[in-house]
Structure 1
Amino acid sequence: MTSPALPVLDLSRFDAGPSERESFLADLRHAARTVGFFYLTGHGVPERLVNDVVATSRRFFELPEADKLAIDMVNPPHFRGYTRVGREITRGKRDWREQLDINAERPALPRDLDAPAWTRLQGPNQWPDALPELKPVLLRWQEELTGVAIRLLRAFAVALGQDEHVFQPIYASAPNQHIKIIRYSGRDTTESDQGVGAHKDSGFLTLLLQGDRGGLQVESDGGWIDAAPVPGTFIVNVGEVLEMASDGYLRATVHRVVTPPAGTDRLSVAYFFGAALDSTIPLLELSPELRAEATGPARDPENPLFYEVGRNFLKGRLRSHPDVAERHYADLLEPNVRPVPATVN
């Protein structure tokens, strides 16, 4: 395995004057066009909030199992709540991590059999009664990182030769603001080294806060780059929405997480910023120079891409959480190929 460093980009350069902005945009284009991942500095998120999120997330995972299972993801159809170790599936294999998923606090939409199935995704989050401070901390985190993501999205738009607000129509009404707080178990307690299997992210972009232990690996030239933690940074990666909107000029890169060594664990907080579920991804009109390098989105028979955002997002949720799919989306599953929920003793 080779381990070249990922690029490091300073977001404050985007607002630092014409010359510095152009230099930043060139670096952003190169990073997103080649490896698809980079470290982000100059984001402006307060260090105190970062520390609060890490500490409060750790306290959540230290709760008794009964308190965490009271908000099991399988309860509602919205794919929000707690997932036990081994209950999420990637590429047909179990991921050895426990996690809590939250999204924007919105009311559930009325169930309408004629409405698209993705409308079932909207709804309130599940919060643990035993840790009331988790809700305000994570909702503040959601607000802060949404601001960072929108600044980055404006930069991506300009880097592609577009008006900086070109993506606003497909996120402004109700962006998909998805947070996962995640704890990866040590290798002595797992059945494999798959913390999470190789995959791409479906949204615009992802901002990842790592703890002090690595494990994230980025696919590159047939091998894997280790994305070691760098204090004060987020790791940012391009998602499928940007890849499709740019006709493949930008690259949504496959990545995975390996489980930490025996006797340890790994904490991370992932924020996924996506388009509104009722939107359709536009195909941008690129300059001739950029268009010549746009070879179309990657084709993967195991991961078909849909320009309808809600359909694309729901596809991944159903595949990753078969227990929720079976309970709340059985009408979408073919009778003889329904997923079997993972079982863990």
Structure 2
Amino acid sequence: MIRKTRAQINKCIIHKVANKYNSGNNTLSENLVRFDEESYELLLPFLLKPFTSVTQSYRFTHHANIELNEINKYTFDIFKNEDTFIEQSKNIVNHLYEQSNSAQIKTGDVLVVLFEDIEYKDILTNAIGVYKIENKVDFFQTYLDDDSFDVVVQKGISTKKLDKGCLILNTSDTEGTIVLSVDNNNYDAQYWIKNFLHVKYADDRNLHTQNYLTLCNEFSEEVLKPEFGKQQQSSFLANTIDYFKEHESVDYHDFKDEIFEDDTRKNLFEDYKKHFENLNDVLIRNNFEVADAVLKKEKSKFKTEIKLDTHIQIKIDVDAPDAASEHLEKGYDETKKMKYYKVYFNEEK
């Protein structure tokens, strides 16, 4: 989603956020971080790399007025006047603190960072990153004591995985300011996205592609699998992926005609689509352009393994739409009184 080739850190400050539910108190810094060359070169990619593979973006929302969205306001003030950076970073942390309404919300270090020259859709812009470090890892530190080396265990931030982070870009489209977010410790889905950032997905091809593929995946699990079996489920998922790969845009009615051979399954899909929309409060578009990056990400969630009670698993390639129907045969053995699958192949790989 972004390119970090020319990105630089303009300002950075670290605070510690407590848990309001446990009556903790925040610890707020008064000065910016001063980097040495080694720490700067390590921190910059750690903070930005997670956003280079993000496929979807968010936009700020508010029930009354978008200008009353706290993070939108605080970051807008920084973009307008960088001298307010420290003051607004404290406001950001205090706002995060107010969202800790349960014991499971973790305390942690909060980094607020002002970046320059982040590339987004061929445009260079600045951005504000907010990062919450919730988990620290143990590591060994060696030291010299009386002419001998010794070792002590210390805790520190792992550079391998970012716990929580968002990137607010100083650019917008017709829906508003562009926000990117990652959450690798998703113990409370409401805490970071809804309560702290108060954002919603952008209404674009990325969202439309994700919603439709989620619909298909859940339809296969809740309707096809119990009604027609795992083989039919796997075949449907593979055909769905093939349709998305072969078409630049999806037409709902064309999709049904191409994927389903009989009216019974078309009607089941139509009924489930209405149920899915009502249950999730979403609108499945009848026509939309396919987002290839979302397709690649979402298809990894499609489960096409057939697990048998005889400790054997058959995995069908989701990118091979004809594999299940042409090379897999299901039957019943009267002698053994057991069901079976017959697999056809030319050679082992």
Calculate the TM-score normalised by the size of structure 2. Answer: 0.23
Structure number with higher helix proportion: 2
Greater radius of gyration (CA)? 2
Calculate the TM-score normalised by the size of structure 1. Answer: 0.23
